[in-house]
Amino acid sequence: MASRIGALLRRIARSYVLFVVIGVVVGLALAPVAWNATSSDGTVAVVPVAGTIDGGTSAGVSAMLQRARSDSDVKAVVLLVNSGGGGAAASEELYLQTKRTSQEMPVITSVDAAAASGAYYTIAPSDHIYAKPASTVGSVGVLATTPRALEPTTVISTTGPNKLTGGDEREFNYILESLGNAFIGAIFEQRGSELQLSRTELEQARIYSGTQAVQNGLVDSIGGRQAAVEHAADEAGLDNYDVRVMRPDGTARFLSRSNYVASTAPNKTMVSATYLYGEEPSGPVFLMVPATYLNPANDSAAETRPTAATRLSPSPAVAAASGGTHVA
C-alpha cells in the first residue's frame, strides 16, 4: 500500500514539474520584452540637400522635412549638404522650411563638399553647423541676368510701358538689392551671436574653407556626418536612437565637378550653367550661386576637354547684389 502511494506521489511530482516547465516556455514566448533588450527612444532623420537648388530640389527636400515634422517618431533632423546653391526663390523656400523645422525639433547640419550661396541660406537656421576642413562655405549674395531691352513692336503690343521688361534698370536694381538684403538679414538673424564678420565683410560674398568658416562664425565646428547625427540625438535627449536616411526622388544636378565627385546621391549628373540661365534668357533670372559656377571656363559639365572657344566664350551679363548693388 505504501509503495503504491509513493509511486502516485512521484507521478504527481513529475506532472507538476512538466507543467511548470511548459508554463515558463509559454510565458517567455508571449513576453513583450526579452531580458537585456533595448528599445529606440526615437529617430534622427538625415535629409540630403544635394546638387543645384531648383524647383525639383526644393520640392523634394521640403517634402522630406514635412514628413519628418509629421512623424512622431522623428525627434531631430540632420541636413547633409553638398550644394553650391541655385535659384533664389527655391533657396528661399528651403530656408523657410529649415526655419520651420528648427522651431519644432533640433536641426543639425553637416556640410560635405560645399554649402555655398543658396545652400548656405538653406542651412542658416540650423542649431549647429559642422563642416570639414576642405568644405567650402559662404558666397552670401545674389546674382541676376540683366533684363533684355525690349520695346513694343507691330508684332507685340502691351497694356503698359513696362509689360515687356517688368520695369526699368532702377527698378531691376532695387529688386536685386532687396533680395541681397533679405539674404544678409537672414544670416545675421540666425547667426548674429556667432558671426565674427561685419555686415560689410559678409557682403563681400567670399567663399571660405571649413576651417576659416569656423573662425569667422559661419560654421560652428569641424566635423562630419557622424558628429552631426550624435549631436542631433543629444539635443533631442535620445540615448538609444535609430538613424533614417531619407532619399528624394529624381536626379541631383551639379554645376561643380568637385561637388559632383563628393556626392553620395544615387542619381546624379553634371549640367552646364545654362541649365540655370538658359541660352538666351528673355528676362532676369535671380540666382544664389557663386559667380564662378556661371563662368564657362569653370564649367565641368562636358566630359571632354573644353576647347579654346569654350574657355574664352563670355558668360551672360550679370548683375550681383550682396546687400548693395554691384553691376558687372
Does residue 27 sit in the same domain as residue 111?
Answer: no
Does residue 207 sit in the same domain as residue 276?
Answer: no
Does residue 81 sit in the same domain as residue 129?
Answer: yes
Does residue 46 sit in the same domain as residue 3?
Answer: no
Q: What's the pLDDT at 36?
A: 38
Q: Name beta bridge partners: 130.
A: 110, 221
Does residue 68 sit in the same domain as residue 182?
Answer: yes
Q: Identify the domain containing residue 1 by its residue range.
A: 1-37
Does residue 94 sit in the same domain as residue 208?
Answer: yes
pTM for this structure? 0.78
- The number of folded domains in the chain is 3
> What is the residue-averaged pLDDT of the chain?
81
- Is residue 119 a part of any domain in this protein? yes
Does residue 64 sit in the same domain as residue 97?
Answer: yes
Instruction: Write out pLDDT tens, residues 219-248.
Output: 999 999 999 999 999 999 999 999 999 988
Does residue 254 sit in the same domain as residue 232?
Answer: no
Does residue 257 sit in the same domain as residue 132?
Answer: no
Ranking 32-41, 100-109, 311-320 by mean pLDDT, the lowest is 311-320
- Is residue 168 a part of any domain in this protein? no
Q: Per-residue pLDDT for 107 more than 70?
A: yes
Cα torsion 298, 203, 192, 95: sign: negative
- Is residue 301 a part of any domain in this protein? no
The Cα–Cα gap between 79 and 176 comes to 28
Cα torsion 45, 103, 289, 225: sign: negative
- Is residue 306 a part of any domain in this protein? no
- Is residue 289 a part of any domain in this protein? no
Instruction: Write out pLDDT tens, residues 115-145.
Output: 999 999 999 999 999 999 999 999 999 988 8
Question: What CATH number is associated with residue 195?
Answer: 3.90.226.10
Does residue 123 sit in the same domain as residue 259?
Answer: no
Does residue 20 sit in the same domain as residue 63?
Answer: no
Q: What's the pLDDT at 279?
A: 74
Q: What's the pLDDT at 156?
A: 65
Percent of the chain with pLDDT over 90: 58
Does residue 21 sit in the same domain as residue 54?
Answer: no
Cell of 114: 560645399
